[in-house]
Amino acid sequence: MVRIRMHGQGLHIKSPRAFPSLLSFFPGILTPAFSDLLWVGENATYFRFPALSLRGRLEHAVFTRLAGASDPPYQSLNIGDKVGDRLENVSANLLRIKEEIGAEHLVFMNQRHGHEIVVLRQGRFILPKEPPPADAMITDIPGLALMVKQADCQGIIILEPGKGVLANVHCGWRGNVQDIAGRVVALMKREFGCISSRLMAAIGPSLGPCCAQFVSHKEIFPESFGPFMVRENYFDLWALTCGQLLAAGMREENIEVAGICTRCRSDLFYSYRGEGRTGRFGTVAMLR
């Protein structure tokens, strides 16, 4: 039983608007209720996935933009150091996240919207001096928190509970085109002996089918994306990613989707499409 800590804390957040259901694509996908996702910690407000939370080896959180040190238009828990915010504010926000998650080290990437993947192994790990140019990280090291920075792109946590292997993936539409989620699953299998059917995944708040408009989709998307167009020029990128994870061998019942659109919910999350000049929120995952 997951204990939700939002109640009685004086936090008043309106319910999310309704979206077309993922179940029309994949009936077995888990779509938790909003109240089962939202948590309030000592230092920040964040979301956790119920099924992942039942796995004792994992600590994870999708941090909202609330309760940070940054001023407008980055208010307030901005972790983007290349968006125009003051670096001292970003550093304070990163420290807040590190303390909330209880991490020894917080590692993030220089995200490129590509398909490069960094593997961080026990016995071979050296803390990088600069964020590596990549869009996914895989590790078997406890206490090492992997962080993805977002403002509409998907943060995808992938866990193999039995082997204690964890990945955190940054996936925008370019990542979908390059099937970065499928590439991560393949690398987890090859490098760590993971079994696809035992993997668990969670897709966090990101651009929803209500707002994922791509007028030039015929030029930038492969024909295989066609079934995921929910109305003219609008795509369900959540379902698309689920399809790529399933094609990599995962099971529907092992995938959770938050179903929260960042552009619609810019009160909670940064949205580049909705705001333009804005910050970045973080999805963080760590093995215990």
- Of the chain, the end-to-end C-alpha distance in Å amounts to 19
Q: What is the pLDDT of residue 42?
A: 81
- Tell me the residue length of the chain: 288
Q: What is the DSSP string of 97-146?
A: HHHHHT-SEEEE-B--SS--EEEE-TTT----SS--B-SEEEE--BTEEE
pLDDT tens digits for 123-138? 888 888 899 999 999 9
Q: Domain ranges in the chain?
A: 27-287
pTM of the model: 0.93
Q: What is the pLDDT of residue 43?
A: 81
The answer to whether 199 and 158 are in contact (CB under 8 A) is: yes
Q: What is the pLDDT of residue 161?
A: 94
Could you tell me which CATH class the domain 27-287 is placed in? alpha beta
The answer to whether 24 and 231 are in contact (CB under 8 A) is: no
Rounded (5°) CA angle 251-256-262: 140
Q: What is the pLDDT of residue 20?
A: 56
Tokens 């895989």, located at residue? 138
Q: What is the pLDDT of residue 16?
A: 55
Between the alpha carbon of residue 229 and those of residues 87, 235, 240, the distances in Å are 40, 4, 9
* pLDDT tens over the chain, length 288 residues: 233 344 334 445 555 544 556 778 999 999 999 889 999 888 899 999 999 998 878 999 999 999 999 999 999 999 999 999 999 999 999 999 999 999 989 999 999 999 999 999 998 888 888 999 999 999 999 999 999 999 999 999 999 999 999 999 999 999 999 999 999 999 999 999 999 999 999 999 999 999 999 999 999 999 999 999 999 999 999 999 999 999 999 999 999 999 999 999 999 999 999 999 999 999 999 999
Q: What is the pLDDT of residue 29?
A: 94
